[in-house]
A and B are shown apart, each in its own frame.
Chain A
Amino acid sequence: MSVPTLTFVIVGQEDHPIYEVDLTGPKEQQTQYLHQFVLHSSLDAVDEQMWTSKEPHLKVVDRFNGLQVTAFVTAGNTRFLLLHDGRSDDAIRAFFTEVYDLYLRVMLNPFHTPTTRITSREFDRKVKLLAKRLIG
C-alpha cells in the first residue's frame, strides 16, 4: 500500500527552508531525497508564477510525475509549498490560509526574523492539526 505524500515546507526569503514537516508518515530515505529535490526545484516555478498572479495562492505550480506542488506566497516573499499527490485545491487553499495566520503570529514575535527557522512546537502542533482537519 502506497503511503500518501503530503509534505509541507515554508521557504524563507532567502530560499532556504525555515520549516518543514511531513504530514503523512515516515518516508524512506529515497523518498525524503525525492521530496527535497522536487520541492527545491519547484521554487523555480514559484518564482516564475508569482509574477503572473495577483493572488497569494498560486495553485499547482509544479508537477513531478504523480506529485504536485501547490504554492502560496506571502507578501513578504515567504513561500508555502505543499507537496502532495492530488489533494483538493480548495482544501489546500484553506490550509494555506490557516497556516498563514499561524505564520503571521510567529512573525509577530519581535525576536523572530524572516530568516529564522520556525522551531515553535506549538506552531508545529497547530500545523499538523490543520493538516489533519483540512487536507488529511
Chain B
Amino acid sequence: MNFVASFYPQEHRTPPLPLVALIGCSELHREISDYFIQHHRPPLVFHGSNEPLEQFVARAFGPKKQSPLVGGPLPGILKADWFAKHRGKKPAMVVALVERRELDGDPSTWNRMMYGLKQLADAAGQRGAGVLVGVVQQQGQGDLPPDRVQAVSHNLTLDRRLILPLALLPPPGVAPDDPATRHVRDAALTRLGRLALELAAAYYGRLARAVADKAAARRSALGGPLPPELAARTAFKLAVYAEFRQDWATAVAHYREAYAAILAVQIGLPPRPQRWSEVCAVAELVHLKLLMLAVHQGRLEEAVAQVRAHLGHFARPKGVLPASAQGAHLGFLVRQYQVAAQEVGTHVDALPAYYTTTTTTGAAGTAAIGGGGTTSVGGGPAAAGMTGGSTTGAAGGGLMQQQLTGGGATAGMTGTGAGITGSGATGSSTIVSSASLKDCSRAHLLMAAARLAVARRQQADALRAARAGGGGALGSGSALGSGGGGAAALDTAPVRRGPYVGQLVLRNEAAQGGYSPLSDQDYLLFLESEECRLVTPAAVIDVMSSALLLLKDAPGADRLRSQLGGLMAQEHVLAGSLSSARKLLLQVCHQYRREGWLLPLLQALLSLRDVAQRLRLPAEHLCYSLEICALANQLQYKPAVLVPLYGSGGSGQHPIKFLTAGGSGAAVGDEDGGDAGGNDGNGTVSTAISEQASCCARLVDLGTAMAACRSAVQTLITGISEIKQGIMKTAPTSTDGTPAPGAGAGPGPFSPDASGLAPAPATGASGGLPRHFHYTVEHLDLREAQRRARDAGDPRPVAELMHRHTQHDYGWSRCVSLAAGFAYTRPDPDSADFYLGLFCGLPRGLPLKAVVLHFADDQGDMWVQALPGVVPPHAPPYPLLPGHIGSALDSATHSFHHLHLNTHLRQHPPPPPGADGAQPDAEPEAERTAGHAHAAGGPASTSSTSGGPGEGSATLPPQRWTHYSARLAPRCLGRLRAERAILLLSDHATVVFKLASFPPATAASAQPGVLTGPLLGGGRGGADAAAAPFRSVRSSGPTGGPAVSPGQLVLNVAHLGPLPSLSYGLPSGLALLGEHAPLLAVLEVPREGRPLVNACMEFVIGRTSGGLQPGDIVLVVDDAAGPQPGLMALNNERYRIQLPTVQPGRRYTVRLWARASAAGTAAVGAMLLCPAQVTATATLTFEEPFDFKCRMSSEVGVHTLSLPRLTSRDLGSTALTIGQPVVLTAMLRALQPAVVEVASAQVALEPGSAIRLVADPNQQLAAHGPPPGVGPPTGPGGPSQAPTSLASTLGPDPAAGPAGAAAVASGALVVAPYTRLTKSDVMTLLLPICPTELLDHPRSLGRLNIRWRRPAGHVLLPQQPAPHATASGSGSGSDAAGSSAEDGGFAGAEAGDAEGQREGEGAEGAVGEANQRGDGFVDPLAPPCPDPWVTTTLELPRVTVAESLLTARTVGPSAITTGIPFTYSLQLQNFGTTPLELMITLQDAPGFACANERSPSLSVPPRERAGVSWQLTASQPGHQLLPGVRLLAPRHNCALTTQSPHVYVQPF
C-alpha cells in the first residue's frame, strides 16, 4: 500500500518544478510541454495558455497583494493553496511564441506583434518573471534577421540571446515524425529549456530574496526575532523556492529551519485543539519534505533522525487534549508511522548488517553554521551541521533531536544557499551496525502504527459510548448540532478546509467570503463526529493488515508477527469476524506457548477464551479456562524475580497482583514529556494495550483463579451442556468490560448453581451437541508441518494446519502434564510394567475417575486400566478391558459406553481415614486405591488421597506428580507400543494423550518423555519437578535405582515366558593345534517355560588373544536340524542354524568342533535367538603339539672352496654346495601331556629349491622314536582309515622311487605304525638330500607333514554342562567360559541331574544316548564328525646353494704310532672351467712334525684332480688333532681351511 500517495496531494509528495507559461502558437503547446516533461532533464512544466493576452497577463502577472509588515496575530502558518499556486498558476517566466512571418512581416504585422510582446514583457517585468521570445519557423529557414532581432531586443529591453529561433516546423514535404526533423526540433527545444531554466532560477532566486528581505524588514520593525509562525512560513517559502531551483541542500536547510520554527509555535496550555492540529499539519508537511529529500539524497541516517525527532515531538501534546482531539491526533500519528515505514523503513530494511557512514565531527559542524547563525530566522541557537552524516549508536536519537530542535538554520536568509552543504565539515567513515536503526524498520514502524490505531479506535469507542450515554450536551448550542438531547446528530457537510494548512472553516453564507472560522467547541464536535464515523475496527484492521502483509513474508519476524496478530485478533473480535480472530489467536498462543512467555500467553488465552465463548465452542472455552487457571497458578509460583530492586511499595507484591490490580490507568502516559524523543510512544502504546491488559484483570487473585478452576472442574463433572447453555445465554456483545463467564469473580455462570440450570440429560444435549468433553492432546510439529505444506505449494496458515489435527493445540498439557514410560526391567518375561506420571498444574485438584492405557501390538489393540502407585512386585498382570469398550474410549461419542465402562473399571474405595501416603510395597495389590498416591521419597511425589468431587473417583492433587501404573501380559512377540493414555475425568469428560505422537525426547525437555517440561517452567511444580517425574519410583532390587524409563513408549517383546538357558560343554583336556576340539552348546528350556519354536542359534568367533586371529579358527557345527543336515565349517563368519522345536523341560545339544591353525586363546560365542537373545561364551586355548628341530650335516673331511658371495649371508639359512650330499636330521618332541599317535610323516620339498632326495625315503630314511604303541587305534576312524588317509597324503605315487620323489621333490616317510608320543617323547627323522642347482637366495627346503591323531582311549571329550536348576530370567545368558577343571567338577557333581535331563531329551536331540558316556562326556567321534586325523605341517630349514670351485679332502691314516712317519695328503678336485692357482699352507699342529715343505703352490687344471702330500711324524701319543690345511685362491679371493679330524696316536 502506498501510504504517501493516499495521504498527500501530488504537490506535496513530488518535488516542485519551475512553471513556464507558453503563449502564442497554441498548436505547438502540447508538443512542447510533453517534451519538457518527458524528455528534458530536469523536467520543466510548460503550461500553454489560450487565454486572451490581457486575461493571461492579469492572471499570471497581476498585482501582488500587499500585506502589512507588522500586524496582530497571524491567521495561520501556511496558506493551503500557496504550493498549488506556485506550482500551477504563477509562472516563473513566459515564452512568447511568434511566427517567423510575423517577425519578417510588414509594418502592421510587426507592430501588432510588438504590442503584444511589449504588454507581456511589462507585466512579467513587474513581477520579476522572465520573458523569452521564441520565433517559430520551418527547419532550414536559417538565422533570424539581425535587424529585426535588434529591434525586438531594443523595444522589449531584452537580451538578444533571449530571442531565439525555434525550428519546430518540418520543412515542406517532410513528415513531422522524420528522425532528422525530430533531431533538429529537439535541439531547438533543448536550447529553449536551457534558457528557461536559467530564467526560472533567477526568478525563484529573486522571489527568495524578496521573501528574505521582507522577513528582515519585519524583524527590524519588530526589533526582535520573527514570530514562529512567520519564521516558519518564511523558511518554508525559501525552501520551496530552493526546491524550484533544485538547490536541494538549501531546501533541506530551510525546511529544517521551518520545522524548528514550527516547534516553537505557541500552542497554549492546555493546547488549543485547532492550533495543535494546524501545527501538526504544517509539521507533517515539512517533515514529509525533509524525509523525501533526505532519502532521495541517500542520507538515510538523517531521515531516521528526522523520523525519531518528529515522532518524539508530536507523540504527545504538551498538555491534555480533549478526547476527540486526542483521537484525531492518534490518527495523525498513525499516518506518520505509516509514512515513515514507507519512506524510511523500506530503505532501513534494505541495509546490510553493517554499512559505512560518514560521521561529522562536532567542530566541523559548528564551523559550518558559523555564517548562518547570525541570520537565522528562528533566532534560536545555531544548529549543528545539517549535512553532517549520521549519528551512531544509542545516542543517535537524542543527538539528532538536538540538531533538529535547535531552531537555528545554517542557510542564510538571503536564500543563496551558500554554505549549506557543510563542505567544511570533516567527515570520517564509520562502520555502523544497522541494528541501531532497527526502530525505523518497516516492521517496527507499522507495528507502532497498528498499536496507535488500536488506541485511536479505543478513543473513538469511548466517544461513542459517551455520546450514547447522554453526549447530547456536547452538541448543544453548537452550530453543528441539529438536535438537542440524546445523541447529537452531527452534520459535518458544512465544514471545509480552511485557507491555511491544518485549519477548518464552516460554510456560512452570511459571513464574508462565505466561510466563518470554527469555534473550538464546534471543532471538537466535528472531530468527535468524524472519529465516531470513521474510526472503526475495520479501519484498524486495514492498518494492521498492511503491517501483517509485510511481516508475513519477512524472515525472522515471527515474534513481531505474533504480537501484531494478537492486536489484530482483538480488532477482529470487535469487528465481529470471530473466526479470523480465532485463527490469529491460535497462532499467537502457539508461539507464546512454545517459547514459554507466560504473560503474553495469558493475555492471548483470555482473548481466545472470549472468542471461543462467542463462537459457541464450549469445549474450547473450557480448555482455555482451565489453561488460564493453570497459568495463573504458575505465575503465582513464579520465583522472586520481578521483585523490584528499588522501592518499597511493590516489593512484596506478586506479578499477579499487578495483573489483577485493575484500574491503575495509563500511568505510563504520565511520564515527563520532556524526556527526549524516546518516550514518544509509551503513553499511546500503553493506552493501546490497556484494554487487552485490563482483560487480565478479570482474572483476579489466586482465590478467583481457584473459583474459576472450581467452576471449570464442576463443568467437567456435569458435562458441557451446561456450559454451552451458559454461553448461549451470554450476550455476544459483552466483550468490553464484561467479566468473562467462568473466570470472573466467584463461580462463573457455567457452574450449575450459578447458571441456575438443571443438569441436562445424558443424551439430550441441547442443539444436538454432545455433552461429553473430549480432548485429545497430540503433538504437532508445526514448523515441520509448515515446511512440508510450503514445499507442497500449500502455504496454509498455522491455524489451518492445527485444525487438521484432532485438537488445536496441546495447551491442555499445561493443566495436566504427562510423563510415561515402560519400566527399565521386566518383572518377569511374561509381563511388562508401564508407568504414567501426571502433573496437575491447576490451582486445585482435578477429578480423575480412572486412567486407561491403550497399547497396541501385532495382534491389535488392548486397553488396560492403570492403578495409582507402583505395581507390587508379585502382582499378576491386569485384566484387559473389553475391546468394544476400549475402542469407544478414544472416540468423541462414547458417553454411552461410559455407562458400560463403569462396570469394568475397578472400583476404588476411598482410603481409610488418616492414611497418608501409605507405602505401596507394604500393601497388597487389591488394596490399591485410585488416588492413592505414591509418596515414596522425592520432592515431587504424589500426595495422599483427597476427597474428589465425584463419588468413587479420586482427585489429581495439584502441583504434584501422581503415578499410575499398569502391568500387562504381552500377547505376542514384537513391538508393544503405548498408544494413548486416556484420562477419564468423569462420566462426561475424557482427556486423551496421544503418546505415540510425541517425540521420544527433545533438547527442550530435560528428560525424555516429559511432554511439557519447558512449558511447566517456573514454580514449585515446574521444570525441576518435570525433570524427574519418576524420581521417587525406585526399583525393588538391592540397588534401588530408577525403575522407570521415561519416554520409552515402545517395548520390544522378544520372548514370552522364562528364557531358555544356553551353556557350553568344554573339552575335558587341552586342545592341540590342528585338531578338532569338540564343544557342546546345550540349550535347555525350563519346565515352566513355553515350547521353543522357530528359534535359531548363531555362532561366532569372538575375541582372540595370544597371536590367534579369528581367521585362524575353523568352527565346525553339526547342523542336525537344518535343511541340509551335516557339518558346516565356518571360518570367521557368523553362522545361524535353525533349531527344532524344543519342549519345556528338554535339552537340545549342538555339537561343535573348533580347529585352530595358530596357538592362542579364542572365545566361541553362541547366541540363541528365540527371538530374545541368550548368549553363552566358551574360551578355548589351543597349544602347539610338537617341538621341532632340524640339523643338517655333510660328509666328514670334505671341504668346498666356494666363490665369495656378493650378497650378505642371510641369517637362519644354511649354505650348501652343489652336489654335496647333506643329511637333514628332524627331531620331533611332544610338548603337551597328551598321547599322540603319529601315523606318517611326509616330506614335501619345495619344487623350486632344487633339492633332491638322495634315495627312496621308504628305504633310506629312518625314524627313531619311542616304541610303537599298543596297536592301531580301535576307533571308527582308526585302522581302516589309516591306509587310506596315508595313501591320500603320500603324493602321486609313493613307490615311484628316488626319481619319482625327485620329480615331485617330495616323499613320505612311514614311521613305525601308530607311533605314540607322550609328553617329552622325541621322534627323529633323517632325510639325505643333495642340492642340484644354484640357489642364491635363501629358500625353504620344504615342509614336513606329520599326520597324527589322538589314539583310542585318549580322545578329547566334551563335557556335558550341568543342567540349570531354575530357569534364569535374565536375557544375558550364561557365560560358560571357565576352566575345564571347574566345568568337570561341576559336571560330576551334577551327574544325577544330568541323567535326569537326558531322560527328557527327545528324539530331536542331536546327541543321543549312544553317543554319551556315563561320566557326562559326549563322544566327539560319533557321526557325523570331522576327520580325527590331524596333519601338522612343520617347516624345514632355509638353505642357499652355491657353486663349488674346488673340493678339498684331507686323507690321513686311521692308525698312527708315535715316531713313525706317515703320509698326510690333500686331495683336490677342480669343478670349475678355469685352472685354479692355490697357495696351500699346512698349519701347525702341536703334536706333529712335518718333514717337507709346508706351503707349496699348486695349480689345478679345470676338471682335474691334484694332490699334495706331507710326511708327518707324531711326537706325542694320545688323541691328537691333525693339522689343518689352508687353501688360498688369490685370483678368486677366496680361502678355505679344512677341519682336521682327531686321531689316536699310539705310543711307540
Please report A residues at the B interface, Cβ cutoff 8 Å. Answer: 1-2, 12-34, 36-37, 40-41, 43-45, 47-49, 52-53, 58-68, 85-86, 89, 113, 115-117, 119, 121, 124, 128, 131-132, 136
Contact = CB atoms under 8 A, between A and B. Distances in A.
Given A29-B658, A31-B686, A40 B563 contact: yes
A121 to B, nearest CB: 7
Contacts of A128: 645
A110 B1278 CA distance: 72
Contact of B666 (A2, A30, A116, A136): A30
A65 B563 contact: no
B595 A14 contact: yes
Nearest to A4: B646
B1130 interface: no
A18 to B, nearest CB: 7
Contacts, number: 219
A15 B600 CA distance: 14
Nearest to A10: B641
A125 B692 CA distance: 33
Contacts of A89: 393-394
Nearest to B603: A33
Contacts of A62: 435, 438-439
A49 B353 contact: yes
Given A20-B641, A64-B444, A65-B448, 6 more contacts: A2-B679, A19-B641, A29-B658, A36-B599, A47-B556, A68-B394
B558 A44 contact: yes
B1017 A16 contact: yes
Nearest to B653: A26
B920 interface: no
Contacts of A22: 641-645
Interface string B672-686: 100111111110011
B559 interface: yes
B911 interface: no
A28 B682 contact: no
B398 A28 contact: no
A122 B643 CA distance: 14
Interface stretch (B54-62, B1021-1029, B1052-1060): B1021-1029
B600 A29 contact: no
Given A14-B595, A14-B1003, A116-B1006, A30 B668 contact: yes
Contact of A16 (B353, B641, B1014): B1014
Nearest to B437: A63
Given A40-B559, A44-B560, A60 B599 contact: no
B585 interface: no
Interface of B: 315, 353-354, 393-395, 398, 433, 435-436, 438-439, 444, 447-448, 556-560, 562-563, 592, 594-597, 599-600, 603, 639-647, 649-651, 653, 655, 658-659, 661, 664-668, 670-672, 675-682, 685-686, 689-690, 692-693, 696-697, 1003-1006, 1013-1014, 1017-1018, 1022-1024, 1027
A44 B433 CA distance: 16
Contacts of A65: 315, 439, 448, 678-682, 685
Contact of B394 (A16, A20, A47, A86): A86
Contacts of A48: 353, 556
B959 to A, nearest CB: 15
Contact of A86 (B560, B641, B678, B1006): B678
Mostly, the A contact residues are mixed
Contacts of A36: 597, 599-600
- Among A49, A65, A86, the most chain B Cβ lie within 10 Å of the Cβ of A65
A33 B599 contact: yes
A132 B641 contact: no
Contacts of B672: 1-2
Given A22-B644, A23-B645, A26-B644, A41 B560 contact: yes
Contact of A21 (B641, B667, B1003): B641
7 smallest beta-carbon distances between A and B, as pairs: A66-B678, A26-B650, A16-B596, A63-B439, A65-B681, A2-B671, A52-B353
B439 A64 contact: yes
Contacts of A25: 644-647, 650
B1027 A60 contact: no
Nearest to A32: B658
Identify whether the interface residues of B are mostly helix, strand, loop, or mixed.
helix
B394 A60 contact: yes
> Among the interface residues A13, A53, A86, which one has the most CB atoms of the partner chain B within 10 A?
A86
Contacts of A24: 644-646
B680 A66 contact: yes
B600 A40 contact: yes
Nearest to B1002: A14
A60 B436 CA distance: 7
B1018 A117 contact: yes
Contacts of B596: 14-17
Given A30-B689, A33-B599, A48-B556, A117 B1017 contact: yes
Contacts of A14: 595-596, 1003-1004, 1014
Contacts of B433: 49, 52-53, 59
A110 B315 CA distance: 51
Contacts of B1013: 115
Contacts of A12: 1014
A49 B650 contact: no
A29 B533 CA distance: 31
25 contacts: A2-B672, A14-B596, A16-B597, A16-B1014, A19-B641, A20-B641, A21-B642, A24-B644, A31-B668, A34-B682, A36-B599, A41-B559, A52-B354, A62-B439, A65-B439, A65-B678, A66-B680, A85-B678, A86-B676, A86-B678, A113-B1006, A115-B1005, A115-B1017, A121-B640, A131-B645
A22 B658 CA distance: 13
Contacts of B671: 2
| Most chain B beta-carbon neighbours within 10 Å: one of A30, A52, A53, A85 | A30
Contact of A33 (B557, B665, B693): B693
Contacts of A20: 641-642
A41 B563 contact: yes
A14 B670 CA distance: 37
Contact of B1017 (A1, A18, A64, A86): A18
A98 to B, nearest CB: 15
Nearest to B666: A30
Nearest to A62: B438
B1017 A63 contact: no
A28 B563 contact: no
Contacts of A60: 393-394, 435-436, 438
Nearest to A70: B394
Nearest to A65: B681
- Which residue, B398, B439, B448, B558, has most C-beta atoms of chain A within 10 A? B439
Nearest to A27: B658
A61 to B, nearest CB: 5
Contacts of A115: 1003-1006, 1013-1014, 1017, 1023
A81 B1285 CA distance: 89
Contacts of B436: 59-60
A53 B354 CA distance: 10
A84 B1336 CA distance: 93
A116 B438 contact: no
A117 B692 CA distance: 27
A45 B693 CA distance: 25
Contact of B681 (A47, A61, A66, A68): A66
A123 to B, nearest CB: 10
Nearest to A69: B438
Contact of A66 (B395, B643, B675, B1006): B675
A124 B677 CA distance: 33
A58 B678 contact: no
A18 B646 CA distance: 22
A114 B354 CA distance: 31
B684 to A, nearest CB: 9
Contact of B697 (A2, A29, A44): A29
Contacts of B448: 64-65
Contacts of B665: 28
